[in-house]
Structure 1
Amino acid sequence: MKELQDNLLLSLSMDPVLDSGNKEQAESAILQRCLDGLDIARASIWLYDVKRDAMHCQQICPKELSVNELPALTRQQFPQYFAALDKKRVINAKDARNDNATREFAESYLIPLDIWSMLDVPLRYQGEVIGIICCEQTGHYRDWSEEDAGFVGVLSDLYGRVMAAAERQRYQLQLEHANERLESLVNERTAHLQKTLDQLKQTQQHLIESEKMASLGNLVAGIAHEVNTPVGIGLTGISHCSYLLTALADSVHAGILGKVQLEQTLAELQHSTALVERNLHRAAELIRQFKQSAVDQSHYELHQFAIDDYIQAVLQTLLPFCRQHEVQLELDLNSGLVLHSYPGAIAQVLTNLVTNACIHAFEPPQAVERARIRVETQALSDGRLLLQLTDNGCGIPRDHLQRIFEPFFTTRRGRGGTGLGLSIVYNIVQKNLGGELTVASKPGIGTRFSLKLGSLSPES
């Protein structure tokens, strides 16, 4: 018998079904060896539930018996049996109908099925008892030997390979699903990134061809620097995702992937894809602002209009924004001029200057007790308009004053500032409106922007 059992164990240990991930087939192979090695007619595998208050039959031999016909064994119904499992490595019941550990099954199970002896051996996985292999002798008593218990014990140990393979297959499926989702996300983000880069190239080419900005060299350098940062972070994030996926695949193939590693890697992947998404949105926003800075005269239409009335109408739309920043608008519009110009361009200039002052001039801790922006107009002797916007905010340092119209110059890097606002204003005033824009400022006193605008002929 010992030689037979050893041969059965050897053949089972080399059976690829144990590592196939097919739990049902592997359990059948183990139970068939159990029947052959012990020369018995019935054997089954039972596993605990999560709370260890019940066990459910996973597989039973012979196959004529159905797992579904066997009810769960609960701790409440069979307290002595579960207590014995908690204390003993093996339940060796020669007289199962009278043994303290198994006699609870006598009336409902053992006697009706002509079972006289039971040998239950714990199944262990990762150091925990997860269930039992139940061996049953029918028709007569069976005095289970130490060799019998040892034989079933080795079968129990081999069951650990079955559990590991099943778990590995489950992780593999999870990994494949996660990989598919991540590949889709990476492809989507990569396409978005490529589209953003294409837009950048098109915008740069448009600027070069149209020569709308005198400082084109600085502008191109600025946008390249600004966009390269989020683009670089996005590419790094995608590369990190690829590295994590490769590491996961290696762990799966090596059979060493665990739940903790999988969860940690998935969390890192989620973080990296979120990082890619945020920086792509940032790059897209920079492209949008970059396009706006490349103003084209064809975007506006020439009209003849009363400038004072128009300025007042534009400023009315900005009152909610000013109130939100606790800034008061004061108007002194007395030019009486009628201009032939681009009202849309003038509206954009006013909007940018007022919002820029609200955000920068009264920023804590330099906030003043009564923040205000004064807008004045007057007619110059040459028939042009003088438009001045004066705030009583913190002022602009001398070293910053010389650079505030440069593209991408900002003191709010990392807080949402791009340095394009005043650059846009400067180019609209010069290129679209044919005017002049100057600035004067004293730290702690305030800042004044002065615009000189005239009427434009249709040819201009």
Structure 2
Amino acid sequence: MTERKRAEAALKASERQFHTLADSIPQLVWMADAGGKIFWFNNHWRQYTGTDSQDWQAALAPGPFHGARERWALALQTGTPFELEVSLRGADGQYRPFLTRAVPLRDAASAVYRWIGTHIDISERKRGEQELRNARDAAEAALHNLKETQNSLIEAEKLAALGRLVAGVAHEINNPVGTSLTVASSLEHKTAMVAVELANGTLKRSTLNDFLEVSREASSQLVANLNRAANLIQSFKQVATDQSYSNQRVFDLGELTEQIVTSLRPGLGKQNLALTIECQPDLAMNSYPGPYGQVLTNLFLNALAHAFPNGKNGTIDIKVVQAAGDDNVDVLFSDDGCGMSLDVRRKAFDPFFTTRREQGNTGLGLHIIHTIVTNCLGGTLTLESEPGKGTKIHLVLPRVAPASSAAS
């Protein structure tokens, strides 16, 4: 009996030490018997709940109650530890998130004789997680808005480039159309005069011969000028159509490049620049003519804007040849303009980088070129430039573009 009493006293002393320790930690601690009936809570539990009740489930939020009870019943049945998140009501009536853990205590025969559980307040962690989610959502929204803005600016830059082509072609077409109108008006006047003389019976053979000669010359001028206007319109129409639709199709690269250059020439305006082109014949491509035209257009407009300041004379050269092997073509675009410094050359393809922002440039022209060549046409490009030595841009394009949609 003495040994038994000593053992019981030692057990009680051990429990008092555990209770003292449990009361000193900032967690809600409880103990339950093997059947799951809770018989003890530490002081922090009483302080948080404001009650001495040992029915901890009464403090659970209504929603998680059934789930927690099922998990607790399963743990009692299997004798395994469990962990779950619950919401517990405090003395102020507010529910807060807690992480609940329960572990079984076993005797020498490995039988469960008691359970120890803890509730850890994870309000700060939850708040931090929510703030992190909010920050992530805000960052994703900002990134989405940035991409939308960038796409809008790129589309605007494309339309602006096409608009500059329209203005140049319209100016170029105005010359043959204006000449044709003048010739037609003069011919109409002479025809009316001949008709009057014919009606009055005063028409002379010499007058008729002069009229026929003038008519032949006028007809020849009308045909030449109207054909010139028609060719300009047809070239521009094809280029504009290709740039509006990014469909993959088979085309001759030399013929397409000639059409594009025909539409670009009016953009030279009064600048004393020469635009030369050399295309190897029979370069069949299965690619995207619209994006390819956009690349040449942006290269041309970029050269006009930056390579020849203050009306400087110069030459822009475009050369299209088959690359080594049969799978690729080389497109060489070069000018003998002012060239680029090392710092400018390194940033040339960066979005929104421009040396002439005060003149309304967006800095997207070369970035669009890089995006189209690498993402849509499946090619590569390199840039060589030095101050005073012009600029060379070398495109290597596969004759069969990757099967993907064109760059927007």
* Same fold (TM > 0.5): no
